[in-house]
Structure 1
């Protein structure tokens, strides 16, 4: 049985017992921005997968559930805000874990900062539509950045409440869409073709699987907040499985409603003809005008909720790595009252402000540049970490927890690794589709991830050589033993 170093409560500990199951689920689902995904991202999925998209979400959900089985079994032995870092370190060694830690920092920051591009552009368009006035995209992005920083400092419990309200509103609008389509009547195509294995696994849908996996990106953040979970690991496990199940079933059902509204024979052509307006047209045709207006506003709050949730995930990585000495130890400080990792939050905000500022100063495109490039960087990083985590789980559990059973220690993580390795290859092959950029930009995006991994490994090897005691302490901290 492994013996993690138990971290005593200190002035710089995170807020223990601050989040219940509901808070964790709200936080991770908010990071996924369900309304934004259905309205703005799912059309791209339809463009590549057509009628197979709903089934694609279910298949991706099965893969993520298999991943979660091993990851959550591992959580009995690792309760650390640097979730990927701690898990991979314990399974594949400290150098690999340190490389993964830096990749996680880059990935979560890439996802978070890229969202400022989407929010800035959409907020500017909405502002002009309703007021007749105009302002640069970065004005709205910087206002959002300041608000995210303030809320992040207020503490995770306050954040969970805000995210919960915004998420409920997003889900409510999508439920109204579903009910409106079903209540309208006149639908003649109730085809289940979307869920047929022959349809879903057609070779032409390979690119679709590279895309739909992104719909789950962030669900693993439940483990990042494990130190702040009320009820400990049991709460984290419950929230993780609820999040995976909800994402898979809800996204599959809502996109199937879109399919039957257009007709299974027409959805692919409709997506090709107008991918931007594909889902908006379903709203406009079926939902009362005022609800459509509310949807437009909620697209903004959806992006903001994702910004806040991802800010909290990114700053907890900075905090965990500062606490253990992989990054400057000052990042491991928390506020005395709110217990928020204020130093880490300040760094994350400063990095985001610098990137947004650079795009503004040099006149770079916030959508085609900031959003697509940053999200692709995050996407690549997270999928790589999922795959490495699966390997780490197998190695650690087989050696230390054979009593957990072969399914949890080998079968589930083994299947998830194989599937995620395929998805990673598909993402790399389809990277130009994700970034909208040429070879040079794509090489830079991949290169940033590689440099992050190399830097992390080098830092661990340096500590092993110069400070063996600190090296041996890497990824051994746990706020409490898993149960």
Structure 2
């Protein structure tokens, strides 16, 4: 990244100083004051695709794993993630960086660790985003067959969705937030209507609370169920990614994290319980195993009619689209942060002049999505309507690789929070937050171990399948590669290594170095000791 600046960029910066905290020019910064609490909350909640979880994840946990106590599982995981958010939110008050996870890890565990985390985050969120195109394309293909009587291969609507996401990813984040918000509010409203209908008209076993009994969590499928259920929360941790685009990042980001975790835990627990009430705790496992995602729609149709169920089918698809757009925005911002700090080519560290969106990162993710969709389409020799390639392979493989990466990042971030405040001499003042982070970190490590151990169940492969180790190794190889790259930067380009995790603050160090002359050096600062300017 060139340290020089032209007279034009200096003039432009002077007029926009209230918006950005860099002297590099408007194209090197995300636009500030674009998101408030509501916009940010809707953006991160959209990533969790609530209806996709209720219709897809919940029947899988009930049926394939036989865990009737799924509602209690969401409560337990909500507590774990609240503990995680305590330290993570406090960190967000000190570090405002679109790199989020990797920036926090760099500031706590060092720039080399941050380099490794940056590539894991890029791969993990990219995999989760691309995987959703598979199930979205399959569902849209099914809707075309059902309502239009037209046979369409799954990859056709998947590519169309990728094109729309590419356009929206190029536009202003506040416009994206409005699209995500509208889809999310409608989606959640319909699920709540079903929840109320289920309670008003319970199944044969009545309003049973047995799903909250700890005894219902026993069984060989518990570890796998933990992996599925924690993936349903993914999205809340993305709040710091948008810190530079919020009005008051030191307040808004932490507030949104707690609101997102609390809302997700309550919403998921009540919706899972409503399913048990509607189907009956004693029979829901069998019904879920037989009907799969159709369970929600059959229970809805018997209570709320065919029209409501048809609308729910459509919202099932739009909810997945909202998740696609949310993950796309996150990947683009990680790429932007990495380009700004020298971990990726400098072109990634520039934004669209008109919208302030991270243009190059957005284009990269769109191109990658199209390539992956085409690759899976070319290898799909099954008839239209067969879910094997789009759902059981593309969606399942990519989704679980991404979930494993995010779980590991959350665990590492928990320990990075502890190291950050200890190194700053604030361990005493932050003691209770550090204890919460330690407990969350240990719990997340345990969940990561279960994820790797049960990967054959998660992806539906046999015990002897090579995919059981090839897919998790993707994250391992990415981490090792990132760590090696960070070590190389430390010796070959120490000035780049030193600013990993600093974000816009790195520009301030460069400006100070230029003002001081040849004696000053931007590479002399310790990222772990700085505070965000």
Instruction: Establish whether residue 59 from structure 1 lines up as the match of residue 84 from structure 2.
Output: no
Shift of 1:399: 2.5
Choose which of 456, 469, 475 in structure 2 pairs with 1:443. 469
In structure 2, runs of 5+ residues without a counterpart are 1-20, 382-388, 509-530
Whole-Å separation in 1 of the counterparts to 2:98 and 2:328: 14
Picking from 255, 269, 280, the partner of 2:272 is 255
User: How far 1:403 sits from its partner (Å)?
Assistant: 5.0
State whether structure 2 residue 485 is matched by structure 1 residue 459. Answer: yes
1:391 aligns with 2:412: no
Equivalent in 157, 160, 163 of residue 146 of structure 1: 163
The more displaced of 276-285 and 72-81 is 276-285
Displacement, 1:128? Answer: 1.3
Equivalent in the alignment of 1:10: 25
Determine which structure has the larger helix proportion and give its number. Answer: 1
Q: 1:36 aligns with which of 52, 74, 79?
A: 52
Give the CA deviation at 1:14: 0.5
When the two structures are superposed, what TM-score results if normalisation uses the length of structure 1? Answer: 0.95
Aligned to 1:369: 393
How far is 1:321 from its partner? 0.3
> Post-superposition shift, 1:203?
6.5
Q: Distance in 2 between matches of 1:185 and 1:440?
A: 44
Is structure 2 residue 354 aligned with structure 1 residue 337? yes
CA distance in structure 2 between the partners assigned to 1:44 and 1:316 by the alignment: 32
Q: Give the equivalent residue in structure 2 for 1:312.
A: 329
Whether 1:427 aligns to 2:427 is: no
Task: Describe how 1:459-478 pairs up with structure 2 within 5 A.
Answer: 459-478=485-504
Q: Of the candidates 153, 158, 167, which is equivalent to residue 184 of structure 2? A: 167
1-side partners of 2:379 and 2:272: how far apart?
Answer: 38
Contact map agreement 1:220 1:240 (CA 8 A) in 2: yes
Structure 1 residue 437 displacement after superposition: 2.5
Contact 2:201 2:278 in 1 (8 A): no
- Determine helix, strand or coil for the equivalent of 1:216: coil
Q: 1:276 offset after TM fit, Å?
A: 3.3
Structure 1 residues 75 and 312: alpha-carbon distance in aligned structure 2, compared to 1, 3 A threshold: same
In 2: Cα distance, 1:19 partner to 1:49 partner = 41
For residues 132-143 of structure 1, the aligned pairs below 5 Å read: 132-143=149-160
How big is each residue's C-alpha offset from its partner over 1:238-278, in whole Å with a ceiling of 9 and x where there is no partner? Answer: 11100000000011001111111122222223223333322
464-473 or 60-69, which moves further after superposition?
A: 464-473
Q: CA deviation at 1:457?
A: 1.2
C-alpha displacement of 1:478: 4.5
Name 1:3's counterpart in structure 2: none
State how far apart, in whole Å, the 2-side matches of 1:135 and 1:190 are: 42
SS at match of 2:352: coil
1:124–1:136 CA contact under 8 A, matched in 2: yes
1:288-303 aligned at under 5 Å gives the runs 288-303=305-320
Query: Equivalent residue for 1:118?
Result: 135
Q: Secondary structure at the match of 1:376?
A: helix
Task: Return the alpha-carbon distance in structure 2 between the equivalents of residues 192 and 394 of structure 1.
Answer: 38
Whole-angstrom distance in 1 between the partners of 2:456 and 2:53:
20
Q: Quick check: 1:75–1:482 contact (8 Å CA) kept in 2? A: no
Out of 261, 264, 279, the residue aligned to residue 281 of structure 2 is 264
CA distance in 1, matches of 2:215, 2:477: 41
> Of 345, 351, 362, which residue of structure 2 is paired with 1:328?
345
CA distance in 2, matches of 1:201, 1:397: 38
1:95-244 alignment, distance < 5 Å: 95-184=112-201, 188-200=205-217, 205-244=222-261
TM-aligned CA deviation for residue 186 of structure 1: 7.2
Distance across 1 between alignment mates of 2:380 and 2:219: 42
Q: TM-score normalised to the size of structure 2?
A: 0.86
How far apart in 1 are the matches of 2:114 and 2:288?
Answer: 41
Greater CA deviation, 437-446 or 25-34?
437-446
List gaps (5 residues or longer) in structure 1: 1-5
Cα displacement string for residues 178-221 of structure 1 (whole angstroms, at most 9, x for unaligned residues): 22223336765322222223433667633322221111112100
Partner of 1:405 in structure 2? Answer: 430
**In structure 2, distance between residues paired with 1:265 and 1:137:** 36
Tell which structure's C-alpha radius of gyration is larger: 2
Offset of residue 41 of structure 1:
1.4
**Aligned with 1:455: secondary structure?**
helix
Alignment of 1:336-355 (within 5 A): 336-355=353-372
Tell me how far apart the structure 2 counterparts of residues 430 and 450 of structure 1 sit (CA, whole Å): 16
RMSD of aligned residue pairs (Cα, Å): 1.8
Structure 2 CA distance for aligned equivalents of residues 49 and 472 of structure 1? 50
Q: Could you say which structure has the greater relative contact order, defined with CA pairs below 8 angstroms and 6 or more residues apart?
A: 1
Tell me how far apart the structure 2 counterparts of residues 204 and 136 of structure 1 sit (CA, whole Å).
Answer: 34
Question: Aligned to 2:47, what secondary structure does the other structure show?
Answer: helix
